Amino acid sequence: MATRVIESSVRLDLREEVCPFSFVRTKLQLEKMKPGEILEVVLRGAAIENVPRSAEREGHVVLHHERLGGDYVFYIKKMDCEKRDHACARRDCFHCHDILRDRALEARKEADPEKRLKDLEEGSARLGGASAEEVLAWALEFFGKEKIALATSFGPEDMVLTDMLARIEPAARIFTLDTGRLYQETYCVMDRTMKKYGMKVEVYCPDARELEELTREYGPNLFYDSVENRMSCCRIRKINPLKRVLSTLDAWTCGLRREQSPTRTGVSKVEVVGRDNIIAKINPLAEWTEKDVWDYIRKYDVPSNELHACGFPSIGCAPCTRALKPGEDIRAGRWWWEQPAQKECGLHGKK
Ligand code: SF4
């Protein structure tokens, strides 16, 4: 057995882990460490070379590796490299050129739909105990960053996912649906988010002609008149713009949680929404509680909508959202004049 020659600051035992979680865990651990510190990673099984390769692509240095019995040990030095913040010209730099992602994109173009669906189902079956960050990283890797985007309405769950994405992949796509009826506080948190993270948010608006016709026919407050009218408004202001953005994607990420409403108790981390063209919905926070979300927001100083402090746990369009009264259910402030089972706008309806 070889002798260990390097003192490490942190040891990561990934012998029970499978690819791609092994290099995702390594990446996340390196993000937490100080420059100059050494990470010792213990691996077992196939595809172990992905770990040192991805670390090197991110600008870190693999100092040494050795074999201990049936295991492999890599010593990776965390580098404080300006290049890691995207100004470098190295062709093999992960951040600058995204070689891994481009390769994944190319591979996906060549893959046939049946194989791709099988890969998706196999990959998602391994996400049972994965953290939200691992689900996000897996999805980015699987779909490629051009073909997956986070849908945000700047609610607490969306802000948690935005913060995670900013650390995992700053060039990840994020989009929002501007219905034209949002609270000013929502535009404020949108503005703060763009400034804090420097991430571009794609803003999708309703079709002006559809909106003019709807308002002319039913008036500006049609949503209060019937569920049907409300759904028409949601369709034109939300669903149709969503269809536009989905036409550019293979998957979208949402902040859905099982405990949010009676209609969301069956939410899973990966859902195949369209089996023909394989549109997948990724829900990394499916198992999170409301407390988990707010603990994260406070811990990482994540921007949030000021209306949450005024009794709004869930914030949508201004005419359709109100503050909660003491003891009310979390979804009671949305479309409060409708029955709980009807309270979906169609964005997250049944497949
Ligand atoms: Fe229209 Fe209300 Fe739906 Fe917004 S939430 S799109 S205002 S019905």
Instruction: Compute the radius of gyration of the chain from its Cα atoms.
Output: 22
Paired with 10 in beta bridges are: 39
**Residues sharing a CB contact under 8 Å with residue 27, sequence separation 6 or more, in sequence order:** 54, 55, 58, 137, 168
Tell me if 197 sits within 8 A of 171, measured CB to CB. no
What's the distance, Cα to Cα, between the start and end of the chain in Å? 55
Question: What pLDDT score does 172 carry?
Answer: 93
Tell me if 284 sits within 8 A of 253, measured CB to CB. yes
Question: What pLDDT score does 35 carry?
Answer: 78
d(CA 336, CA 265): 20
Question: What pLDDT score does 288 carry?
Answer: 95
User: Distance of CA 349 to CAs 101, 133, 267, 343, Å?
Assistant: 31, 25, 11, 10
pLDDT tens track of the chain, all 351 residues?
A: 445 567 888 999 988 877 667 777 888 788 778 878 899 999 887 667 778 887 877 778 888 888 888 888 999 988 764 444 444 434 334 444 344 445 545 655 666 777 777 888 888 888 888 899 999 999 998 888 888 999 999 999 999 999 999 989 989 999 999 999 999 999 999 999 999 999 889 999 999 889 999 999 999 999 999 999 999 999 999 999 988 888 778 899 999 999 877 777 888 899 887 655 557 999 999 999 999 999 999 999 999 999 999 999 889 999 999 999 888 887 788 888 887 766 666 565 544
Handedness of CA 221, 224, 228, 232 (dihedral sign): positive
Which CATH architecture does the domain made up of 10-97 adopt? 2-Layer Sandwich (3.30)
Pocket of ligand 1 (CB under 6 A): 179, 181, 223, 230, 233-234, 237-238, 316-317, 319-320, 345
**Residues sharing a CB contact under 8 Å with residue 205, sequence separation 6 or more, in sequence order:** 178, 180, 241
Question: What pLDDT score does 31 carry?
Answer: 78
What are the residue ranges of CATH 3.30.110.40 in the chain? 10-97
Question: What pLDDT score does 5 carry?
Answer: 65
> Exposure of 150 by Cβ count < 10 A (0-12 exposed, 13-18 middle, 19+ buried)?
buried
Tokens of 33: 């460490």
3-state secondary structure 38-79: EEEEEECCCCCCHHHHHHHHCCCEEEEEEEECCEEEEEEECC
d(CA 291, CA 272): 28
d(CA 340, CA 351): 19
State which ligand 1 atom lies nearest to the alpha carbon of 230.
8
- Residue 128 has a CB neighbour count (10 Å cut-off) of 8
What are the residue ranges of CATH 3.40.50.620 in the chain? 104-342
The residue to mutate among 177, 239, 320, having the most atoms of ligand 1 within 8 angstroms of its beta carbon, is: 320
* Ligand 1 center from residue 12 Cα (angstroms): 48
Instruction: Give the relative orientation of helices 50-57 and 99-110 as an angle to the nearest 10 degrees.
Output: 120
Task: Tell me the fold of 104-342.
Answer: Rossmann fold (3.40.50)
* Ligand 1 center from residue 225 Cα (angstroms): 12
Q: What is the largest CA-CA distance in the chain?
A: 80
- Residue 45 has a CB neighbour count (10 Å cut-off) of 15
Q: Would you call 96 a catalytic residue per the annotation?
A: no
